[in-house]
Amino acid sequence: MNDHNKANAIGINHIALEVGDIDDALAFYGSFLNFEISSQSDNAAFIYFGDQFINFSKGRRQGPDDARHFGIAVDDKDLVRRTLKDMGVKLISEKFLDFLDPWGNRVEITTYAKIQFTKADHVLKGMGLTHVTKTDDALQELAKKNMVP
């Protein structure tokens, strides 16, 4: 039920991550993800996944994340798993493919096809990802919420 005295949350536009070095962050994440660099300086960079982005900001000072994390949906989770292992990245959780980046940001890699999060068809087309589809389970979860075409 919508409360008309409150704004409706529509989605997450971006995540801001503090890192030690912008070039190193772009190299690390660029080792296992395709993305577009929108802008970059010595203190910040913005990488886009279609209509969403990560803002890398120089200056992380806190310790490694424990349970706090963010998830990135990909088209090939197994490819990311193999690449991370080849990079020597220690996985925190094999099942959920969680790991810490070099600055202690906890990241979870998930499979786009198996989750409810959905990009609009025109965004997927613009990203060159028209081959990506949802599993029946994901579609059933969306159908329970009246969120399938």
- For residue 4, tell me if it sits in a domain: no
Whole domain around residue 26: which residue ranges? 14-59+66-144
CB 48 within 8 Å of CB 36: yes
- For residue 149, tell me if it sits in a domain: no
Cα–Cα distance, 48 to 125 (Å, whole number):
15
What are 23-39's pLDDT values in tens digits? 999 999 999 999 999 99
CATH of the domain at 23: 3.10.180.10
Prediction pTM value: 0.91
Residue closest to 21 by CA, chosen among 65, 63, 59:
59
- For residue 120, tell me if it sits in a domain: yes
CA distances from 103 to 18, 49, 62, 110, 124 (A): 8, 21, 9, 21, 30
- For residue 123, tell me if it sits in a domain: yes
Give mean pLDDT, residues 2-29. Answer: 92
- For residue 112, tell me if it sits in a domain: yes
- For residue 90, tell me if it sits in a domain: yes
Q: How many domains does the chain have?
A: 1
- For residue 6, tell me if it sits in a domain: no
